[in-house]
Amino acid sequence: MPLRALAMDGAAAPVPVTLADVRAAAARIEGAILRTPTLPSHAVSQATGARVFLKLDNLQATGAFKERGAANRIALLTARERAAGVIAMSAGNHAQAVARHAALAGIAATIVMPKFTPVTKVVRTEGWGARVVLHGETLAESAAHAHELALRDGLTFIHPYDDPGVIAGQGTMVLEMLEDAPALDALVFPVGGGGLLTGCASAARELRPGLPVYGVEVEGYPAMAQRLAGRPVAVGGPTIAEGIAVRDVGELPLALLRQMGVEVLVVPERAVEQAIALLAEGAKVVSEGAGAAGLAAILTFPERFAGKSVGTVVCGGNIDARILANVLLRNLLRDGRILRLHLDIPDRPGVLADIATRVAAAGGNVIEVSHQRLFAAPSVQSAELELMVEVRDTAQGNAIVAALEAGQYVVRRG
């Protein structure tokens, strides 16, 4: 079963981020960020059993919600801090957010990125006018170097989530959501370091007391859920939700979430892929892995959300085109809309034509063929054939297999 962790009461009460803080942040950043829409999605609602409203923060200029927190934190800088410049550490959306809003404010920005950062992300960050420093093999090493540069050069470090100004900026999202969809029964937000969830939960509990607010992590990186449950942090492994693949959560978000009793749900990797595909096919929305985590939770815990109006955010759309294509194809395979077949066939004229005719007669569309005669076949008088066939659904796929077996072909699904 997917892990669920409920926040426990903390001994010390942290300084809260209030609705007044969030409203002040909204006033500061108005015009600097896009006020994104919150829209119902019939296709997503039909697939989940809930009435799902999507907050499309993937439409921000940098493709992610991180602009909210960065814009507010930069707006709070003193004149001396503005003159000296800012620095941040990030391999993703926070880097571009800080770079963009520093440039809009006429402030010099330095972004420290790990050496492994893809060139496209480096180029995009530089494109917003920032100086990029590639340092370290890990995010922790990059962060340490960023703090060293900040101390040496008198720069202000803009933390991606462990900062009340950033948290208040991220919370502006919930003001817009509840204005556009005031009758929501629950809110669901992805969790990385915790800034987004904390800001939104802080504002929502004053705007709508009693409104359930959930966080979501992916099963390989449930750091916030583990910390809230008082368990040791154990994370790692590949994930498509790299934007929330965090080991060290923010201490301020942790304390505030614990104080508010916010629950964090943990979802399997497969649910995130399913959510990306559902958003692309059903809602016509492109989402990165972290951006689809909220929907993944609605899919994973249907008993919590069935029949309710649920708001979640597509918090980022910066997904590699190749990865998106792979996710969509994997989802088609899982749904039975692409059929992968292996056949051992006699090596004689007309066999391929007969197989193609049987597939076509059953309504299938062959999209890929691999025919191996020399090495893979069990006999010199046979060949191995692999087919990728596009079908409407599982029933049509079963009909195609039956048609091939009726021709005395041995068919294996792969």
Mean pLDDT of 264-272: 98
> Is 186 found in the same domain as 230?
yes
In a domain, 246, yes or no: yes
How many domains is the chain partitioned into structurally? 3
Share of the chain above pLDDT 70, in %: 95
> Cα–Cα–Cα angle for 237, 252, 236, nearest 5°?
5
pLDDT for 53 equals: 98
pLDDT for 256 equals: 97
Say if CB 197 and CB 191 are below 8 A apart.
yes
pLDDT for 3 equals: 41
Task: Give the CATH number for residue 407.
Answer: 3.30.70.260
pLDDT for 10 equals: 43
pLDDT digits (tens, 9 = 90+) for 161-183: 999 999 999 999 999 999 999 99
Say if CB 14 and CB 255 are below 8 A apart.
yes
Q: Which of 154, 174, 191 is at the close of a domain?
A: 154
- Distance separating alpha carbons of residues 89 and 74, to the nearest angstrom: 15
* Coil/strand/helix, residue 370: strand
- Distance separating alpha carbons of residues 29 and 46, to the nearest angstrom: 35
* Coil/strand/helix, residue 82: helix
Which long-range contacts does 325-332 make (Cβ < 8 Å, 24+ apart)? Answer: 327/240, 327/273, 327/276, 327/277, 328/277, 328/280, 328/281, 330/273, 331/273, 331/274, 331/277, 332/390
> Is 171 found in the same domain as 301?
yes
pLDDT for 237 equals: 93
- Indicate the pairing of strand 410-413 with strand 338-346: antiparallel
**Residue 377: pLDDT band by 50, 70, 90 thresholds?**
low
- 311: Cα separation from own chain's centroid: 16
pLDDT for 379 equals: 60
In a domain, 318, yes or no: yes
> Is 241 found in the same domain as 127?
no
Amino acid identity, position 138: T
> Is 29 found in the same domain as 147?
no
pLDDT digits (tens, 9 = 90+) for 302-329: 999 999 999 999 999 999 999 999 999 9
- Find the DSSP H helices in 159-222: 164-180, 195-207
> Is 355 found in the same domain as 225?
no
Greater confidence (15 vs 45) lies with 45
In a domain, 35, yes or no: yes
**Which residues contact residue 2 at a Cβ distance below 8 angstroms, ignoring those fewer than 6 apart?**
219, 265, 266, 267, 268, 300, 301
Model confidence at 255: pLDDT above 50: yes
Mean pLDDT of 177-203: 98
Amino acid identity, position 235: V
**Residue 92: pLDDT band by 50, 70, 90 thresholds?**
confident
- Indicate the pairing of strand 51-56 with strand 38-40: antiparallel
In a domain, 75, yes or no: no
25 class by beta-carbon count within 10 Å (0-12 exposed, 13-18 middle, 19+ buried): buried
pLDDT for 5 equals: 43
Q: Which two tokens stand for residue 18?
A: 């209030």
- Distance separating alpha carbons of residues 125 and 119, to the nearest angstrom: 10
Largest Cα span, the chain: 82
> Is 169 found in the same domain as 143?
no
**Which residues contact residue 30 at a Cβ distance below 8 angstroms, ignoring those fewer than 6 apart?**
none
Q: Which of 154, 179, 209 is at the close of a domain?
A: 154
> Is 199 found in the same domain as 59?
yes
Number of other CB atoms surrounding residue 410 within 10 Å: 10
pLDDT digits (tens, 9 = 90+) for 337-374: 999 999 988 888 899 999 999 999 999 999 999 887 65
pLDDT for 13 equals: 66
Of 12-21, 87-96, 137-146, 330-339, the range with the lowest mean pLDDT is 12-21
Amino acid identity, position 110: T
> Is 193 found in the same domain as 140?
no
Q: Which of 154, 178, 205 is at the close of a domain?
A: 154
In a domain, 11, yes or no: yes
Number of other CB atoms surrounding residue 340 within 10 Å: 14
> Is 268 found in the same domain as 207?
yes
In a domain, 225, yes or no: yes
> Is 365 found in the same domain as 237?
no
Tally of residues, the chain? 414
> Is 13 found in the same domain as 61?
yes
Average per-residue pLDDT for the chain: 93
Say if CB 98 and CB 119 are below 8 A apart.
no
Greater confidence (80 vs 140) lies with 80
- Distance separating alpha carbons of residues 86 and 42, to the nearest angstrom: 43
Residue 371's domain comprises 337-413
Amino acid identity, position 224: M
> Is 261 found in the same domain as 211?
yes
